[in-house]
Chains A and B, each alone.
Chain A
Amino acid sequence: MSEVAVLQLIGLVVVGIGLLILLFIKAMFVRVVGFVIIMLGIFSLIALGVPQMPSLPPAIETFDLASVKTPDDLAAIGQKIFFSKGQCALCHSIGPSESARCPDLKGIGAKLTPEFIYESLTQPQAYIYLDYRHQGPPKEYPARMPYINKNPIALSDQEIYSVIAFLQKMSGEPISIKVEDVMQLANTQQTMTVAAAHRSSDFERVNPTESTDAPESGEAK
């Protein structure tokens, strides 16, 4: 029997006891107690009826170097991080979405260089939009991209490069992140150099304001 089923059973028993008290007990105070436990039982049963989603802490993911053989393996790890520990999907969508709070990342791996993406993740205020979808003057507290390499998210460099590999892959681009560089990073803990551009023109730093899919307005900082 699942935990939810056990709790539902307890809730039903509690409501039943309350009903029995109201039906058969005359003492007014006890009747009030019966009334209270009926309310509490019903509340618990309703709460057990909505989707049950515990908030589990992100697993302290170990970067299993042995499992990474190809750039695709790297991208697969990056995809996992994108939707879990990295919390990217909390604000960003991949493809158009009405509920997305921040820019759509579809095709971002083709538009931006890995260095620029790395900088956007680790120094988000260096070169990024404020006030996504905001018309008029900037807000007092604009939406801000968090520092991905610092708490509370705190991705390691290896994890960040995996995410970049994923962004490139889902944009239909060849993955320019080299597995051996990520491997080396594990040993040296130094910032890896990104592989040379496969299309040199694309690897120039792209200012997002020039992009056609860029947010409607905002100010670069």
Chain B
Amino acid sequence: MEYENEKRMWSPLVERIGIPVILGAAVMLIAVFVPVLVWAQDAITQAMSVEYRDIPGIGSRNVIWVVAQQHLLLAGFVLGVPIFAWVCELVGWKTKEPRYDKLAKEFTKLLTSAYATTALFGGILLFLLIGLYPKLMAYLTDIFFPSFVVYCILFLLETCTLYMYWYGWDAMQGSKKGLHLFLGFLLNLFAIGIMIVPNAWATFQASPVVISEGSAIERAWAATWNPTWWPVNIHRLIANVVLGGFICGAYAGIRYLLAATKEEREHYDWMGYVGNFIGVFGMLPLPFAGYWLMREIYQYNQQMGITLMGGFLAWLFILQAMLIGVLFLGANYYFWMGITYRIPGSEQNYRKPILAMLVVLMICLGVWMTPHSLVASLEEARKMGGAHHPLLGVFGVMSAKMTVSNLMILVTFMSFIMYWRAGKQETATWAKVAKAVMGALLVIAGIAVIVLGVWGYFVPAIIRINYFSVAQVLIVLFIMLTFTPLTAALMKSAKTTTEMVWGQMPIRAGYCLVSNAVMVILLMSLMGYARSSSRVHWHIYGVMRDTSEYAYSPALGYAAAFMSLNTFLFCLLVAFIFWVATMGEKGKALPKEGLRESPGKVPEGIAPALAGGSPTSEEISRT
């Protein structure tokens, strides 16, 4: 029956055209396509034999380095911003404060502007990789093709959701706000998917899992679920929030410095505070995620771990300590300036604690930056009795560094708590007891972290790594998780004694925010170099060797110069994108959003912390 139908369908066509014509066409097709197919096959075979292409004068690796770094930093920003933009929107919706909604919208505006540029650099990177590293890309494509499809679908979904989220912002206010929030949730869900799929490709290069049997999907899945995939996913997710927060802070800092009116200063001072708060909020758990990643690397392959921590990259971690130290100092300094300038009069109460915190931070930074073995001449080494300094040598080991990093996190957290409490008088009957308990817990925690650190010298490394370091981290987390709700509960009923004044921060506050962003960008560039260099001369560790002329990792000085160049280019790129994004504002009335439109009710829970720790002046005058 089907055959009959088919025959009926084809017969008129054959009759109309004629068999000779069809045969002629077939011959023509064969005559044309066979040579083309043969030529294409030859071209493919020839292309497959090319392992590398170079760009004379600049070098293929340098080009990839710059483009990949720009793409990754932009991607980090684009994936980090929706997380806290959505949280801001959620807080605004819960507290009914329009300023949060407007801040979330401003964050999203920066996001939409950066999104297209991120995709553009991603495309350039892909073309360059296919062109310059064809053999590697053919291998990766062979393994990961199913995940390429997933990535494309996620990218489409992300783009559609972002358009709806951004362009539907004003239309979805009021009763449709729930739908808009759901779109924001989806946006973040797809964004996380977009992040973790390429992470699988990158982590596979460091810790490959290769299986030869099974379907394409099974092979891709096995390669995706490699030992460092999830540690990198978590580390990058948090780091993206930190990057996004500090870049938004820097944007606000520059706008604050350029502000022409009081309203602008107030708005961008507040936005700068929120950016810094988000950056610090993410920065506190980041070292823990980094620690987990390093543990996984050691467990996967000790040689790789040793190359990172004890081999030619050992000095990189001294630079990392310096950058993190400056970042911690910058973040704390911004909090302290906030206490001094936004809550006038309260600096008298906090001068001594601030000085003590500064001393602790400087000592911790000094210990963290102490190298294990010193650069010394033969004579100096002989006098010291080796490459380790007799006194300072004890600070060069992991036990000391873990201790001080935990202490720095504690100090930074306390700076935030101090800022939150500044200008407030607790009225709760249990306030005194709560404060005493918190004080005692803080002292005990500090002592416990130090004792575990010192004890760590006298136990086998594995005991220290598996138990002591973990205990130190848990102690600090315990403090953060108990102090935050306790302080929130105390502040709920607290009386405001000093009016919070926005827009009074000195010029150096703006520079401080810029410095924090630069430190984070440098840190991400530095650790990207570390991750890539840990593979030494392998494209895919132990599986595919790099046989190009660039199969070496450059020394730190050269790499740092490149990182600086990349950071500068990224800053210029972001400044340009933001400038274009804000061009539309020109001529419009400057945002009176923010502070002036706050309702009388003082928000509860996390909201006051996000808002700067104190209600606005209008709120105070009303209460």
Distance between Cα atoms of A135 and B306 in the complex (Å): 22
A50 touches B375 (CB 8 A): yes
Q: With a CB–CB cut-off of 8 A, which chain A residues contact B462?
A: 133-134, 139
Cα distance A11–B518 when bound, in Å?
17
Q: Chain A residues near B322: list those with CB within 8 A.
A: 46
Residues of A within 8 Å of B411, CB to CB, are: none
A141 engages B554 (CB within 8 Å): no
Q: Which residues on B sit within 8 Å (CB–CB) of A133?
A: 460-462
Distance of A35 Cα from B323 Cα, bound (Å): 16
CB-defined contacts of A37 to chain B, threshold 8 Å: 568
Closest to B556 in A: A47
Q: Which of A49-77 contact B (CB under 8 A)?
A: 49-58
User: Closest CB-CB distance, B386 to chain A, in whole Å?
Assistant: 10
Known: A32-B257, A44-B561. A90 touches B568 (CB 8 A): no
A-side contacts of B307, CB under 8 Å: 55, 90
Please state if B319 and A91 are interface contacts (CB–CB under 8 Å).
no
B263 within 8 A of partner (CB): no
User: For B319, what are the chain A residues with a Cβ–Cβ distance below 8 Å?
Assistant: 43, 46-47, 50
Give complex CA distance A29, B313 in Å.
36
The answer to whether B258 touches A54, judged by C-beta atoms less than 8 angstroms apart, is no
User: Does the CB pair B306–A152 fall under 8 Å?
Assistant: no
- In the bound complex, do residue B557 and residue A48 qualify as a contact, i.e. CB atoms below 8 Å apart? yes
Partner of B552, one of A3, A44, A55: A55
Q: Which of B298, B554, B561 contacts A10 (CB 8 A)?
A: B561
Contact with A along B243-263 (1 / 0, CB 8 A): 000000000001001100000
Contact between A7 and B460, CB atoms less than 8 A apart: no
- Give B227 Cβ to nearest chain A Cβ, in Å: 10
Q: Report yes or no: A35 in contact with B511, Cβ–Cβ below 8 A.
A: yes
Which residues from A are CB-within-8-Å of B498? Answer: none
Judging by beta carbons under 8 Å apart, are A43 and B552 in contact?
no
Task: Please name all residues of chain A whose beta carbon is closer than 8 Å to the beta carbon of B536 when the two chains form the complex.
Answer: 55, 57, 152
Interface residues of B in 531-556 (CB under 8 A from A): 533, 536-538, 541-543, 545-546, 551-556
Flag whether B571 is at the interface (Cβ < 8 A). yes
In the complex, which residues of chain A have a beta carbon less than 8 angstroms from the beta carbon of B542? 151-152
Give the distance in Å from the alpha carbon of A8 to the alpha carbon of B558 in the complex.
10
Residues of A within 8 A of B551 (CB): 57
Residues on the B chain within 8 Å of A8, using CB: 557
Chain A: which residue is nearest B306 at the CB level?
A: A90
Contact-size category for A: 35 or more
Contact-size category for B: 35 or more
Given contacts A32-B511, A36-B518, A87-B303, contact A56 B557 (CB under 8 A): no
- Nearest A residue to B568 via CB reads A40
B349 in contact (CB, < 8 A)? no
Q: Which of A3, A11, A36 contacts B568 (CB 8 A)?
A: A36
Bound together, the chains give a CA A3 to CA B555 distance in angstroms of 11
Q: Which residue of A lies closest to B511 (CB)?
A: A35
CB-based contact B561/A11 at 8 Å: yes
Distance between A128 CB and nearest chain B CB, rounded to angstroms: 14
Bound Cα distance from A146 to B307, whole angstroms: 15
B522 within 8 A of A: yes
Chain A residues with Cβ below 8 Å from B311 are: 55, 90
A144 to B182, CA, bound (A): 49
Note all chain B residues with C-beta closer than 8 A to A141. Answer: 298-299
**How many angstroms from the CA of A146 to the CA of B533 in the assembled complex?**
20
Q: Which of B306, B553, B561, B575 contacts A7 (CB 8 A)?
A: B561
User: Of A36, A51, A54, A152, which is within 8 A of B538 by CB?
Assistant: A152
Q: Which residues of chain B are within 8 angstroms of A40 by Cβ–Cβ distance?
A: 518, 522, 564, 567-568
B302 within 8 A of A: yes
In residues 359-399 of chain B, which contact A (Cβ within 8 Å)?
375
Q: Is the CB of B303 within 8 A of A146?
A: yes
For B315, give its contact among A3, A7, A51, A56 (CB under 8 Å).
A51
The answer, among B323, B514, B541, for a CB contact under 8 Å with A32, is B514
A50–B322 CA distance with the chains assembled, in angstroms: 13
Q: Is the CB of B306 within 8 A of A55?
A: no
Q: How far is the CB of B318 from chain A (nearest CB, A)?
A: 7
Q: State which of B258, B556, B571 has its C-beta within 8 Å of the C-beta of A52.
A: B556
Q: Is the C-beta of A28 less than 8 angstroms from some C-beta in chain B?
A: yes
Contact of B557 among A4, A35, A134, A144 (CB under 8 A): A4
In the complex, the answer to whether B543 meets A43 with C-beta atoms within 8 Å is: no
The CA-CA distance from A58 to B554 in the complex, in Å, is 14
Contacts A46-B319, A53-B555, A54-B554 given; indicate if A39 touches B302 (C-beta within 8 A).
Answer: no
A109 interfacial by beta-carbon distance below 8 Å: no
Cα–Cα distance between A101 and B538 once the two chains are bound (Å)? 24
* Least CB separation from B459: chain A residue: A135
Judge whether A143 is part of the interface by a CB distance below 8 angstroms. Answer: yes
A152 to B556, CA, bound (A): 24
Say if the beta carbon of B560 comes within 8 Å of chain A: yes
Q: For B542, B551, B556, B563, which residue has the most chain A Cβ atoms within 10 angstroms?
A: B556
Report the separation of the CA atoms of residues A141 and B564 in the bound assembly, to the nearest whole angstrom.
38
Q: B538 — which chain A residues lie within 8 A by C-beta?
A: 152
A10 (CB) vs chain B CBs: closest residue = B561
B440 within 8 A of A: no
Residues of chain B lying within 8 A (CB to CB) of residue A114: none
Contacts of A54 in B (CB 8 A): 312, 552-555, 558
Please give, as numbers and ranges, the residues of chain B lying within 8 Å of A103 by CB-CB distance. Answer: none
A101 to B564, CA, bound (A): 35
The 5 closest A-B pairs by CB, nearest first: A47-B560, A57-B537, A48-B557, A52-B555, A40-B564
- Can you offer 16 A-B residue contacts whose CB atoms are under 8 A? A4-B557, A7-B557, A28-B254, A29-B254, A32-B254, A32-B511, A36-B514, A36-B518, A40-B567, A41-B564, A51-B315, A53-B555, A54-B552, A54-B554, A57-B537, A135-B463
Residues of B near any A CB (own CB < 8 A): 254, 257-258, 298-299, 302-303, 306-307, 311-313, 315, 318-319, 322-323, 375, 460-463, 466, 510-511, 514-515, 518, 522, 533, 536-538, 541-543, 545-546, 551-561, 563-564, 567-568, 571, 575
Known A8-B557, A133-B460; 8 more pairs at CB < 8 Å: A28-B257, A32-B254, A36-B568, A37-B568, A46-B319, A47-B557, A91-B306, A139-B466
